[in-house]
Amino acid sequence: MKDNFEQCLAWLLKHEGGYVNSEHDPGGMTNKGITARVYEQWLSETVDSEPVITEEIMRNIPDNHVAQIYREEYWNRVAGDKLPSGLDWSVFDWAVNSGVGRSARTLQKIIGVTADGGIGPITLNAIAVHDTEKLVTDMYSRRQAFYERLKTFEHFGKGWTRRNEETLEQAIELCRG
């Protein structure tokens, strides 16, 4: 249908930044938003049967691996190319930040379909009868409420809130074309 992936990936990488390994982050070692667990799993399925993930490997994740992981494990799993412009970015960014299932189920709850975490024909048909800007705004509100309930909000809340606000603004821009 359409492809906003490159633009959304550029925005995402600005949000994600570089290498971190915070004691407060349950994700552990992370680079460009890719956790060691996700990278190890992806490598084992695509490149090497039993990769050993070290800090050096995490610090040097190739850009083409990052793009492939985000396209395959997040964008495609939320049907990014089939979602309306703006909603694709909103759903994708939250999928990366909090999980594909959480983002997809939240969208499904908003539109009133079974919240199974899979964005397929039923979900896409239901999305088509809703106002995209309203869906983006609802996703923003529910995402913020989710963040504020997390026990790690005191450590990461300011950044999450900024990211959520930026994603909303960018998604509305995409909606308006």
Whether the CB-CB separation of 104 and 170 falls below 8 Å is answered with no
Q: What is the extent of the structural domain holding 76?
A: 5-176
pTM to 2 decimal places: 0.92
Q: Say if strands 34-35 and 30-31 run parallel, antiparallel, or are unpaired.
A: antiparallel
pLDDT tens sequence across 109-164:
999 999 999 999 999 999 999 999 999 999 999 999 999 999 989 988 999 999 99
The SS3 assignment for 171 reads: helix
Inform me whether the pLDDT recorded for 28 exceeds 90. no
Give the pLDDT band of residue 52 (cuts 50, 70, 90).
confident
Q: Distances in Å between the alpha carbon of 69 and those of 2, 33, 45, 166? A: 20, 10, 11, 23
Q: What is the CATH number of the domain that holds 167?
A: 1.20.141.10
Q: What is the helix (H) or strand (E) element at residue 34, kind and residue range?
A: strand 34-35
- How many structural domains are present in the chain? 1
